[in-house]
Amino acid sequence: MYPSNRTIDEWLVTLNKRILVAIALLFLISGCTQLSVISDDSPGPSNTTGSAADQQQVSGAVRPSDPDAGLPGENQSRDITVAVTEKEGSELATILRDESSVLPARDSYDWESTTAKVSPRSDIENETQQRSVLALCTEIGNKLGSVSVADCLAQNLVFGGAFTVQSRPIVIKDFLPEGDASEKPRILIMGGIHGDEYSSISIMFKWMALLADSNNKDFHWRFAPTVNPDGLLDGQAIRQNANGVDLNRNFPSDDWQDLAQYYWKNTTSGNPRRFPGDFPASEPEVQWVVEQINTFKPDVIVSVHAPYHLLDYDGPPEPPQKIGELHLHLLGVYPGSLGNYAGINLGIPVITMELPSAGIMPNNDQILKMWNDLLEWLYEHHES
């Protein structure tokens, strides 16, 4: 028996796909290698050979079109020249996303594991998920002025168990406590629920780096630095997800059915930036957060936003009065917000930090001060 033409065609398609993925990996590996050898004060060597406009170097230095730039007191990493072009990054991301989109999201994740390790059904699935995380870091590093591809890769983020509307992975990093993790308070900390709030994502990477350098082992931290990567990365950044839904109005709060659509139409005059979705928890990103709440069972949730320059709080009493320069100023309750759902309905303390600017990071002193104030409040109210 000879293989049919159809079989040969399929075989050729598979072969082409594998070659594409191999090329993509080569791109990535060459990018990482470059990153590791370029020192902060080097003049920014280039590995590009073409002269086309799309071969323009992406630099961690200030870019006029990037609102997350021009930060006072920024660290040296901003001056590293990233040797991955924007075109390479987005091509790689597209190839890897297309591959990962065919995989099931949920049941491959071992929710019981305190180390948040992926427990895949096959090595191929595991590898694909990890490559989708690498592709995400390439996109993030090329988008944010304060987080380079190397900064992102350095965190060893892992697949968090779900993909977004555009099949990007929602990624996490766990920092385990000393001793029996089940006896220590669990803190779920999230950035970028609104995709155009750049600083809320960048600050996650600063705090993860701080935590990695510290000896703090008293809490089980779960970082989700970018809950809405499609909003950040699909062209110009937007608040909503790829379905045009404001994720912070899509949580299944008790009042969603009665009030979410009504509030949107009447109070916001149908502002598309506040669209709560067609039904509660309609969006995969919100479903993921709800699942985190059900399985990780956080004792405290921290959600970072911008740019209202204040501290909001929902849930059981004794909110912090201030965190860094953010002072407590209760904003009230919105149908479908995380604070409403998790804080008021479920009784989990929800700290909402609104940074002063979506595009300009707090300086390093403030980043540290906010972290220390948060820790102090946690020790006061939630130490086991």
Residues of this chain that bind Zn ion (CB under 5 A): 194, 197, 305
Task: Specify the residue, 97 or 194, whose C-beta has the smaller distance to Zn ion.
Answer: 194
Task: Specify the residue, 174 or 246, whose C-beta has the smaller distance to Zn ion.
Answer: 246
CB of 274 to Zn ion, least distance (A): 11
CB of 194 to Zn ion, least distance (A): 4
Task: Specify the residue, 197 or 312, whose C-beta has the smaller distance to Zn ion.
Answer: 197
Task: Specify the residue, 60 or 335, whose C-beta has the smaller distance to Zn ion.
Answer: 335
In which residue are the tokens 């900390």 written? 189
As a whole number of angstroms, the distance between CA 143 and CA 316 comes to 37
Task: Specify the residue, 219 or 288, whose C-beta has the smaller distance to Zn ion.
Answer: 288
CB of 314 to Zn ion, least distance (A): 14
Distance set, CA 95 to CA 134, 139, 224 (Å): 12, 13, 24
CB of 206 to Zn ion, least distance (A): 18
Task: Specify the residue, 259 or 310, whose C-beta has the smaller distance to Zn ion.
Answer: 310
The residue of the chain with the least Cβ separation from Zn ion equals: 305
CB of 202 to Zn ion, least distance (A): 14
CB of 273 to Zn ion, least distance (A): 10
As a whole number of angstroms, the distance between CA 164 and CA 104 comes to 12
What is the number of other CB atoms lying within 10 angstroms of the CB of residue 251? 28
As a whole number of angstroms, the distance between CA 115 and CA 132 comes to 20
Q: How many residues does the chain have?
A: 384
Task: Specify the residue, 194 or 249, whose C-beta has the smaller distance to Zn ion.
Answer: 194
Q: Which residues contact 48 (CB under 8 A, 6 or more apart)?
A: 55, 57, 83, 85
As a whole number of angstroms, the distance between CA 199 and CA 304 comes to 9
Distance set, CA 101 to CA 156, 232, 339, 348, 372 (Å): 21, 19, 31, 33, 39
* 303 touches 227 (CB < 8 A): no
CB of 305 to Zn ion, least distance (A): 3
